[in-house]
Amino acid sequence: MDFDLTTDQQMFYDMVRRFAEKELAANAVERAHADGYPWDVAEKFAEMGLLGITIAENRGGIGGSLTDAILAIQAVAEFCPRSADVVQAGNFGAIRTFAEYADDEQLARFLPDLLAGRAVMSVGMSEPDAGSSVTELKTMAVADGDDFLVNGSKVYGTNSAEADVFLIYLRFGPGTDGIGSALIEKGTPGFEIGPSYRYMNGEDWAPLYFQDCRIPKANILLGAGGFKRQISGFNIERLGNAARAVAVGRKAFIEACEHAKTRRQFGRDICEFQGLQWKFAEMHMRLEAAQLLLMRAVTKADSGLPSAQDTALAKLACNEAGFYAANEALQIMGAQGFSEDNIVQYCLRRTRGWMIAGGSSEILKNRIAEGIFERRFSQRPPRPQTTKDS
């Protein structure tokens, strides 16, 4: 498998990197601590064609490859982790599943504002009683004439406090086959966005409440039976999450390298201590290995959606390597790395969240084990045995 970049890809990567270094790096810490969504960055990225890279031209996007989008997100993340979230929202997040399955009218209604950096879409899968076991979601859509009435609630959505439109996973009937999704706009009667809460990574989320919220049929993205297709689209989101994790871990690694070259203790540069050299070697190895798994998943998916197994391996490796590197980098930088004016503590907080979001490390390991044994292992309790006497 060839992971070398083409000349065009290298030029594109260099262009985004130069921009990120020149325009974003200086305010990376400030942006990391700022409230709300970085709309100024979104507008700029829209002008540069960095939103909608993975969406086909005939669907209104840029028509680039998944590799291009990965290059863009990593080039930005290495200089300004918070700005990389904008590349995520514009290419890998709910927008990508939406663009994959939306009809022409839905695309025309929502895509222009999303790609112009004027609006952002949030995905509502998780519910108070349905986290890892997302297929237990209860938010119901019941047909009522030409419309649907939606009742239920969602929690923990990235960008849910700032989004204008939501891709909501809904139950149209029993079981996994009863799950589909709809597009629900902020301001729709019966849809209330609750107070904002803050994750430890600095992102805000808000609970979403639906009470007899009436939506037209035209807002249904995928009806009953759509769950598996939605999750296939969601694998793209997972790769964006993996790409940021490894890039943000690498950012912390680079900061720690620079620090270790100049910080002196006991009359020596601290990079001369073997105890620290081995930390660097371990971080480097894990980041490089994770990046290779990511590129393998992405390269194989360039002409379609990534496989569940490749995605699980890449996301697990990148999430764990990113967090490992950020944690070790912080340790190497001592109090300076732990201080809020330093980007490394932010890298640690960001990489930690991705080990939970979009499929926790444990759930990914379950998926990988299923691939190894080519068997599906139900996580649900065994059904009680019925005997002849009972």
**Binds ligand FAD (CB under 6 A): choice among 58, 262, 378, 379:** 379
Binding part of the chain for ligand FAD, among 107-115, 120-128, 318-326, 337-345 by CB under 6 A, reads 120-128
Concatenated DSSP letters for 95-125?
A: HHHHHHH--HHHHHHHHHHHHTTS--EEEE-
Q: Does 220 bind ligand FAD (CB under 6 A)?
A: no
149-185: burial string, b at 16+ Cβ within 10 Å, e else: bbbbbbbbbbbbbbbbbbbbbbbbeeeeebbbbbbbe
Structure tokens at 310: 């490749």
Q: Does 124 bind ligand FAD (CB under 6 A)?
A: yes
**Binds ligand FAD (CB under 6 A): choice among 5, 366, 368, 371:** 366
Site string for ligand FAD, 191-210 (x = CB under 6 A): --------x-x---------
- The number of residues that bind ligand FAD (CB under 6 A) is 21
| Gap between the Cα atoms of 341 and 158, Å rounded | 24
Site string for ligand FAD, 129-148 (x = CB under 6 A): --xx----------------
Residue whose CB is less far from ligand FAD, 92 or 156: 156
| Gap between the Cα atoms of 227 and 111, Å rounded | 22
Place of tokens 């990914």: 364
Cβ–Cβ under 8 Å, residues 91 and 52? yes
Residue 293 CA to its chain's centroid (Å):
17
Q: Does 351 bind ligand FAD (CB under 6 A)?
A: no
**Binds ligand FAD (CB under 6 A): choice among 356, 367, 368, 371:** 356
What minimum distance in Å lies between the beta carbon of 117 and ligand FAD?
Answer: 19
Instruction: Report 70-89 residues binding ligand FAD (CB under 6 A).
Output: none
| Gap between the Cα atoms of 197 and 302, Å rounded | 36
C-alpha distances in Å from residue 211, one per residue of 76, 169, 382: 40, 15, 35
What minimum distance in Å lies between the beta carbon of 105 and ligand FAD?
Answer: 25
Q: Does 360 bind ligand FAD (CB under 6 A)?
A: yes
Residues engaged in binding ligand FAD (CB under 6 A): 122-126, 131-132, 156-158, 199, 201, 353, 356-358, 360, 362-363, 366, 379
